[in-house]
């Protein structure tokens, strides 16, 4: 839900709503209207709205388990019943195994009793007595006690069948390629860099890249909560209190030609936001802002990137507890 800033200025509210809607429609910060781009304050409200929508869209969605508990209860009941059936089958199998030795011992007792009842063999008739004693044999166990055996079940296969690649992904790649072919060389290069950075963000953690030499001169880089008259109202060095919920990174840059630079916010080793900023030759003041929550306490970095997304300046700070 859109949370409007504390201002009564209609132009600032218009810029904030424009930024919010641009983010929800998947547009970039560079798509801001010309009237907003020319005014520094309106541009700041536009970026606030854009970042608020980005934060709301990045909030994890509530798990399906809480929305549909009956589905998981049915699955849990089925698993419980299946476990009960398997346990009963194992108990029956163990009982049948215990019955086999009992019948074998009874057959051995019958044989011993029959041998004791026979008269002792004489010396002259050893072969006959041996034949008579061997003629008394117990019945085979398989005939005397039929054992029920459970039908063998084929073992479950642990192999997983990978689905064939869907043709939809190929068509999406073709659409992306065709859309890139309609852009200018600068726009195509910027779109490719955005795609690579998005892939790195989705992959998870990224290492801190090295700082490269650049003609971009960073004359000032300040963390603050507000900017008035193109100057920060307060400075935070390396520690930002937890009660601060919105932070701005103010930079005073000196360049020799018009170009697009970027402010990139990192939490530990994850990229949280990358904001494009157009600057003009000479001394140029610009800033970006980021909303914070108490769940993001720890080490942060905010970086200045050149047109090739290479780091030319990095500022480290700690948000909240050490």
Q: pLDDT, tens digit, for every residue of 255-313?
A: 999 999 999 999 988 999 999 999 999 889 999 999 999 889 999 999 999 999 999 99
Q: What CA–CA distance (Å, rounded) separates 250 from 241? A: 18
* Among the ranges given (55-64, 134-143, 280-289, 302-311), the one the predictor scored with the smallest mean pLDDT: 134-143
Average pLDDT over residues 100-114: 61
State the maximum Cα–Cα separation within the chain, in Å, rounded to a whole number. 133
pLDDT confidence of residue 236: 93
Q: Spell out the long-range contacts of 98-104 with Cβ–Cβ below 8 A and sequence spacing 24 or more.
A: 99/145, 99/147, 100/141, 100/145, 100/147, 103/141, 103/144, 103/145, 104/141
**Residue burial 260-285, b: 16+ Cβ < 10 Å; e: rest:** ebbbbbbbeeebbbbbbbebeeeebb
Residue with tokens 């029956």: 92
Q: Which CATH number fits domain 184-322: 2.60.40.1930, 3.90.550.10, 1.10.3210.10, 1.10.10.10?
A: 2.60.40.1930
pLDDT score, position 138: 46
Is residue 167 scored above 90 in pLDDT? no
Which of 69-78, 114-123, 147-156, 259-268 reaches the highest mean pLDDT?
259-268
Could you read off the pLDDT of 196-244 as tens digits, one per residue?
766 665 555 678 899 999 999 999 999 999 999 999 998 998 999 999 9
| pTM of the predicted protein model | 0.40
Please indicate whether residue 9 or residue 148 has the higher confidence score (pLDDT). Answer: 9
Count Cβ atoms below 10 Å from residue 144 Cβ, excluding itself: 12
Q: Please tell me the predicted confidence (pLDDT) of residue 10.
A: 87
CA angle, corner 271, sides to 268 and 274, nearest 5? 135
Provide the sign of the torsion angle of the four alpha carbons 99, 105, 111, 113, taken in this order.
Answer: negative
pLDDT above 90: residue 153 = no
In this structure, are residues 141 and 107 in contact, taking their beta carbons and an 8 Å threshold?
Answer: yes
Q: Could you tell me the pLDDT band of residue 42, with boundaries at 50, 70 and 90?
A: confident
Q: Give me 116's structure tokens.
A: 């004791």
The residue with greater pLDDT, 203 or 7, is: 7
Report the mean per-residue pLDDT for the chain: 77
């Amino acid at each position: 839900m859109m949370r409007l800033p504390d201002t009564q200025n209609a132009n600032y509210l218009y810029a904030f709503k424009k930024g919010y809607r641009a983010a929800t429609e998947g547009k970039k910060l560079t798509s801001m209207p010309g009237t907003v781009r020319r005014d520094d304050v309106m541009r700041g409200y536009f970026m606030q709205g854009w970042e608020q929508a980005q934060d709301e869209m990045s909030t994890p969605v509530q798990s399906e388990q809480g929305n549909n508990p009956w589905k998981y209860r049915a699955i849990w009941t089925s698993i419980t019943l299946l476990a009960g059936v398997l346990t009963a089958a194992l108990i029956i199998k163990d009982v049948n195994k215990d019955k086999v030795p009992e019948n074998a011992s009874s057959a051995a007792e019958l044989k011993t009793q029959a041998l004791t009842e026979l008269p002792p063999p004489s010396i002259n008739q050893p072969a006959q007595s041996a034949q008579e004693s061997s003629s008394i044999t117990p019945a085979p166990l398989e005939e005397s006690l039929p054992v029920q055996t459970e039908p063998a079940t084929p073992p479950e296969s642990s192999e997983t069948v990978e689905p064939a690649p869907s043709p939809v992904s190929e068509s999406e790649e073709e659409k992306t390629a065709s859309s890139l072919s309609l852009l200018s060389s600068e726009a195509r290069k910027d779109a490719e860099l955005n795609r690579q950075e998005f892939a790195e963000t989705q992959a998870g953690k990224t290492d801190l890249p090295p700082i490269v030499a650049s003609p971009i001169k960073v004359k000032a880089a300040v963390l603050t909560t507000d900017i008035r008259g193109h100057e920060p109202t307060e400075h935070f060095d390396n520690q930002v209190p937890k009660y601060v919920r919105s932070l701005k990174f103010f930079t005073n840059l000196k360049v020799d030609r018009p170009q697009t630079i970027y402010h990139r916010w990192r939490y530990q080793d994850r990229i949280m936001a990358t904001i494009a900023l157009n600057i003009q030759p000479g001394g140029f003041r610009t800033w970006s802002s980021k909303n914070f929550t108490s769940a993001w306490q720890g080490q942060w970095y905010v970086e200045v990137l050149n047109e090739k997304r290479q780091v030319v300046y990095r500022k480290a700070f700690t948000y909240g507890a050490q």
